[in-house]
Amino acid sequence: MPRFRRGRCRRWITAMPLTPYFQPLGIPPNQMKIINLTPEELEALRLVDLEGLYQEDAAAIMGISRRTLWNDLKRARKKVVNALVNGYAIRIAGGNYAIRPPSPYPDVRPARLPVSNEVDNEKVRKIFELLPKTNCGACGYSSCIECAKAIVSGNAPPDACRIIGSKIKNDVMKILEERR
């Protein structure tokens, strides 16, 4: 009996690569084997190996679980090493992805988001409870808790989360207006 498997979920990528094909020199094209690397596998490599992000943060940016990112990363590394060692060409094509729209808040993410006192910590907790906890990254932050910290510290507007509705946005505003 065949085992039920879910299809691959769509991943967010930043952009398509400028060069979709790489081939080694000195091997005739008719004798060259081609390895297909999907854009989402390349994005996993870029985020973890080139940008130096932790796998948890890279997974949040791509909108997938850490396990799924690990599987993509392992598959991509194996393909790239196979191509380099054996002299195969690499074609970047296929996959199930969407290009992430640019964040409206590109430069508001400091390395550490200051939350100054116990009252602010309580506000962060309350706002985090209102957020969807999907860690989709659409707000420009790697997780919903980071988004909540940024809202409380004033580094992001109260409506930074693109997923929440107007009622929740109003609730966030009320939390921010609470007396200290």
Is the CB of residue 64 less than 8 Å from the CB of residue 54?
no
Question: What is the per-residue pLDDT for 177?
Answer: 86
Second-level CATH architecture of 11-99: Orthogonal Bundle (1.10)
Q: Any alpha helices (H) in 32-162, and if so which ranges?
A: 39-45, 55-62, 66-86, 118-130, 144-153
Highest mean pLDDT among 5-14, 22-31, 111-120: 22-31
Confidence of residue 111 (pLDDT cuts 50, 70, 90): very low
For 86-103, write each residue's pLDDT tens digit: 999 999 998 888 887 665
Tell me how far apart the alpha carbons of residues 94 and 119 are, in angstroms, rounded to a whole number: 49
Write down the pLDDT at residue 38. 93
Q: Which two tokens stand for residue 158?
A: 């109260």
CATH superfamily of 118-177: Electron transport complex subunit B, putative Fe-S cluster (1.10.15.40)
Helix (H) or strand (E) holding 12: strand 11-13
End-to-end CA distance of the chain: 62
pLDDT at 2: 56
pLDDT digits (tens, 9 = 90+) for 124-168: 888 888 888 777 777 888 788 888 888 888 888 888 887 788 888
pLDDT of residue 102: 63
**Reduced to 3 states, what is the DSSP secondary structure of residue 74?**
helix
Convert the pLDDT of each residue in 41-99 to its tens digit: 999 999 899 888 888 888 888 888 899 999 999 999 999 999 999 999 999 998 888 88
Q: How confident is the model at residue 108 (pLDDT cuts 50, 70, 90)?
A: very low
**Residue 26 pLDDT exceeds 80:** yes
CB atoms closer than 10 angstroms to residue 46: 18
Any bridge partners for residue 90, and if so which? Answer: 22, 35
Measured distance CA(141)–CA(157) in Å, rounded: 12
Domain locations along the chain: 11-99, 118-177
